[in-house]
Structure 1
């Protein structure tokens, strides 16, 4: 009866939106950040090396990586200095160069929204910022551990209301990508690396953006390119942890995403009817605790609204992650929870 009632609510909601009379707050609608990194125009016109630089929009991460490995150390450093925003955000650029470039960009930024990232010591051994794009609300990717030598790698994909300003906020720590990644890295330790990936435009609040897949589609493109960049560097295929709306991103990326495991937590759906519909070779896991408000979200997709079946439902076919000790929508990575323990086991390839 409860599922039937949810379906009726979803149908009514979809009908209202299509009719143009929905009561959604339109002021929080987001425009997805797309295209090449900032500074691309200057990069394209730079011929100081006596050759054209790889086009950020059309060159694959593998081709970018080969180009940079063919440069001398001095030539690499010259590009870091002249084009830090391109080098720091271009998938396929060697990791250490990206850290250096993003440290320069952060310390040169006068935007108070990013001051906390610069003050925290990016690039001096304290923080490893793998991407920093100041456009729009800002996007950040941070690495915990040694990505190049790690035997096991995890990537954390966050959900709504995450940007450069909320990337590592001190309230609701385990609802932030940095907090989730830190907790997982602390549990796995040496031999692993965990990436906090806030590399797409997330929805703000609960509105049309959160109910549709538009932002997730762009996020899926960016996530798959990011994973291809890791592969170009020789990084092991990661376990990808997808929180809330991030699981919509992962669901759309699944057929082309290089990953050993896809783990969704607090998911509103993956825009797939079941695991087979994801068309992935990765193992698929799902977690939802009994106190998570996401359980009140209708698990249907009608007229483009909603994200489909609950991945924790038996008919979906995902492996179930225990979450009895987790609390609320953002408690899955909290220390001491059975879910965090299971996440660490998945990352290290020990879970079955």
Structure 2
């Protein structure tokens, strides 16, 4: 009854039953013509908020029966209107989620989580932690809400500014693994400073422009050391055949193969 009367509340209520959230968000989406595509049959929307630029999270696979679960956390320029865009698909949470699920042979359920307000471009918002702090609180609630609803502890795959979000959420989020790629930093000096029991992984391909971003944090600007640097302490993910800042989930890349291994509980040597 509450889902019927207040779909926007129940659809975003972390810890509520998964199927109930799907039903509530289907009703909420149908009320907003801008996002009619999200109401198409078969889509499983587990979070939706049309206010401002909009936030959304979509599930691929069955969260309640899958042995392994992953959550994709995106970086800048992602919102409810762009999270599943056709252009540059492997730079979107929807494209990364579908690619990861395919690479595991459908053995995982994957959430494309565009659940926070991301920076636009590479300006001041991207260089500071304010949006990441707000996003981290949301991510922690979302992941602990999944486990409260009977979903397995997820692996987090965090792209670009999304890795700042994951770094700030690490000590509170429910996560088996935290995988960062194309990261400007995690606002932590080392894996130990993240205060998490999750396995922490990092990938950076040789052609990623993020390497040109200074890995410093001073007076609130910058996000600290490079997680892919040896001294940080993260487990390394091979990314020799990935290309650019958004190519880590491209089919056939060594990074995607490694991500699939991590997503299914394996180890990468």
User: Above 0.5 in TM-score?
Assistant: yes
Q: Out of 141, 156, 161, which is 2:57 matched to?
A: 141
- Give the corresponding residue for 1:115: 36
- Give the corresponding residue for 2:6: 83
Counterparts of 1:235 and 1:79, CA distance in 2 = 22
Q: Out of 19, 23, 31, which is 1:96 matched to?
A: 19
Displacement of 1:164 in angstroms is: 0.3
- 1:184 pairs with 2:100: yes
Counterparts of 2:110 and 2:168, CA distance in 1 = 22
1:277-302 Cα deviation digits (max 9, x unpaired) = 11111111000000100000000001
Q: Is the 8 A contact 2:206 2:240 kept in 1?
A: yes
1:118-150 Cα deviation digits (max 9, x unpaired) = 3xx1xx3x2111011011100000000000011
Counterparts of 2:14 and 2:30, CA distance in 1 = 21
1:18-167 paired onto structure 2 within 5 Å: 78-110=1-33, 112=34, 114-118=35-39, 121=40, 124=41, 126-167=42-83
- Give the corresponding residue for 1:312: 228
- Give the corresponding residue for 1:329: 245
1:256-278 Cα deviation digits (max 9, x unpaired) = 11111100000000001111111
- Secondary structure of 2:69 counterpart: strand
- Give the corresponding residue for 2:199: 283
1:79-132 Cα deviation digits (max 9, x unpaired) = 12111111111111101011111111111213x2x23323xx1xx3x2111011
Across the aligned residues of Structure 1 and Structure 2, the Cα RMSD in angstroms comes to: 0.9
Unaligned runs of 5+ in 2: none
Q: Out of 61, 82, 88, which is 1:172 matched to?
A: 88
Segments of 4+ in structure 1 off by > 3 A? none
Counterparts of 2:3 and 2:175, CA distance in 1 = 29
Unaligned runs of 5+ in 1: 1-77
TM-score (norm 1): 0.75
1:297-348 Cα deviation digits (max 9, x unpaired) = 0000011100000111001011110001100000000111110100010010
Q: Is the 8 A contact 1:160 1:245 kept in 2?
A: yes
Counterparts of 1:116 and 1:258, CA distance in 2 = 30
Q: Out of 169, 181, 200, which is 2:116 matched to?
A: 200
Q: Out of 262, 268, 271, which is 2:187 matched to?
A: 271
TM-score (norm 2): 0.98
How many residues in Structure 1 have an aligned counterpart in Structure 2? 268
- Secondary structure of 1:147 counterpart: coil
- Secondary structure of 1:171 counterpart: coil
Counterparts of 1:188 and 1:127, CA distance in 2 = 20
- 1:250 pairs with 2:177: no
Q: Is the 8 A contact 1:243 1:264 kept in 2?
A: yes
Counterparts of 1:117 and 1:146, CA distance in 2 = 18
Q: Is the 8 A contact 1:245 1:268 kept in 2?
A: yes
Displacement of 1:206 in angstroms is: 1.1
Q: Compare the two structures and name the one with the higher helix fraction.
A: 1
Counterparts of 1:231 and 1:116, CA distance in 2 = 28
Q: Out of 192, 204, 214, which is 2:130 matched to?
A: 214
